[in-house]
Structure 1
Amino acid sequence: MEENHLFPVFFKLDQLQVLVVGGGNVGTEKVNAILQNCPAARVTVVATWFAPELESLTAGFPNVTLIQKAFSCGDLFGKDLVIAATADRELNACIWEKAKASKVLINVADTPGLCDFYLGSIVQKGNLKIAISTNGKSPTIAKRLKEVLNDAIPDTLESVLQHLQILRDRLKGDFNDKVKKLNELTSVLVSRDH
């Protein structure tokens, strides 16, 4: 049985350059996901046309640039991540090939075999962010788990996180002492007796 060997990471998209190729529904969905998670993300969208929803979505984001033209290899210059989100499978494969040659990480929408990374379902409660991956097997299951976790995690968790950060900053001792004290204090969060 195949296992999920993905390594979960959280990118600081305000410090990276992201290229999205495609201005239709899928491109809009990907740009929306990026901006929901990081409103200061630096994104360039290249497409021969843009859906009105994408234009209105990006209007209030100064770090998002829409360039109306066909994709070319030069679009990859200086980019850290690429998302190919066109309706043209051949073009997406070409973008993948050029990204790989340029050593730029790429996600080809709806084509798990051409992805260096996936965009998972995200649960966010303040500073807590949980990414859910099914290894590309079932985005629907990831969406359902997102709904369950959103309902299960209380909105008050943000207050708990803020207080724990203050406490952590005030703790004395070496790293191991701090970890031990914080583990004792937070054990109530996973206790089945509360």
Structure 2
Amino acid sequence: MENQLFPVFFKLNRLHVLVVGGGNIGLEKAHAILQNSPDSNITVVSLDFLPELETLVHQYPNVELIRKPFSCGDLLGKDLAIAATNNRELNYEVWEKAKSARVLINVADTPELCDFYLGSIVQKGNLKIAISTNGKSPTVAKRLKQVLQEAIPDSLDEVLHKLVIIRNKLKGDFAAKVKQLNSITDVLVRPEGENA
């Protein structure tokens, strides 16, 4: 079956994320979230925390570490949950409780229990591209990230900024503005050497 995922970009400063697990997997997930959305609201629940995780969260005021075992009450007020432990039974318990609480969940390294994936991200200023292999190969996603990171020029963010200014000055209805913007941005996709 082909990839039927629907890509979305969450505004994590408006949502609250629960991460269960304070080890390497929890650190990886929290770091990925904070790297992309530094104002994220995250609660990490675990009996123990890696020193690197404790150091990381000191830089982010909206992240809280709670040293305790996971309980279903941890899901109250949460919008997303990530089961990020190396204990399959605990991850399954977090999944069960999240489903009962109607909280979207990602269970690390268990695609069949995931409502969403944390994809590889390419970012150039305001441009952000998420890459998904539908859980089949995170390694391929990481390789594609490297290729795109190198292929997309850093100057693209300046182009985006200028296009916002142009868009705000355009006259006409939505369809007319789209047509004008398509004409202006045609140069971005035109094969090299081809004239307008």
TM-score by length of 1: 0.99
Corresponding residue for 2:41? 42
SS at match of 1:20: strand
Alignment-mate amino acid for residue 127 of structure 1: N
Which secondary structure state, in structure 1, belongs to the residue aligned with residue 66 of structure 2? Answer: strand
Residues of 1 paired with 2:80 and 2:113: CA distance? 13
Give 3-state SS (helix, strand or coil) of 2:17's partner. Answer: strand
Deviation at 1:60, TM superposition (A): 1.2
Q: Could you give the per-residue CA deviations for residues 98-151 of structure 1, whole angstroms, max 9, x where no partner exists?
A: 000000000000000110000000000000000000000000000000000001
**Deviations 1:50-101 (Å, cap 9, x if unpaired)?**
0001001111110000000000000000100000001110000000000000
* 3-state secondary structure, aligned to 1:124: strand
Cα distance in structure 2, aligned partners of 1:170 and 1:69 = 55
For residues 145 and 85 of structure 2, the distance between their equivalents in structure 1, rounded to whole angstroms, comes to 26
Where do 1:49-60 residues align within 5 Å?
Answer: 49-60=48-59
Q: Kindly provide the amino acid, as one letter, of the partner of residue 29 in structure 1.
A: E
- Taking the TM superposition and a 5 Å limit, the aligned residue runs for 1:42-191 are 42-191=41-190
Gaps of 5+ in 1: none
Q: C-alpha offsets along residues 16-50 of structure 1, whole Å, 9 cap, x if unaligned?
A: 01000000000000000000011000000000000
Question: 1:193 deviation in Å?
Answer: 2.6
AA aligned opposite 2:26: G
Q: Which runs of 5+ in 2 are unaligned?
A: none
Structure 1 distance, partners of 2:50, 2:188, is: 45
The two structures have a TM-score, normalised by structure 2, of 0.98
CA distance in 1, matches of 2:167, 2:91: 47
Distance 1:88 1:110 in 2: 11
Question: Is the partner of 1:164 in helix, strand or coil?
Answer: helix
Identical-pair percentage:
69
Counterpart-to-counterpart distance in 2, 1:138 and 1:12: 26
Asked if 1:13 is matched to 2:12, the reply is yes
Distance, in Å, in 1 between the alignment partners of 2:151 and 2:33 is: 24
Q: Which ranges of 4 or more aligned residues in structure 1 deviate by more than 6 Å?
A: none
Query: Residues 153-178 of structure 1, C-alpha deviation per residue, up to 9 Å, x if partnerless?
Result: 00000000000001001111100010
Q: What is the total number of aligned residue pairs between the two structures?
A: 193
In the aligned structure 2, how far is the partner of 1:184 from the partner of 1:193? Answer: 16
For 1:22 and 1:193, locate their aligned partners in 2 and report how far apart those are by CA, in whole Å. Answer: 49
Q: In the alignment, residue 42 of structure 1 is paired with which amino acid? A: N
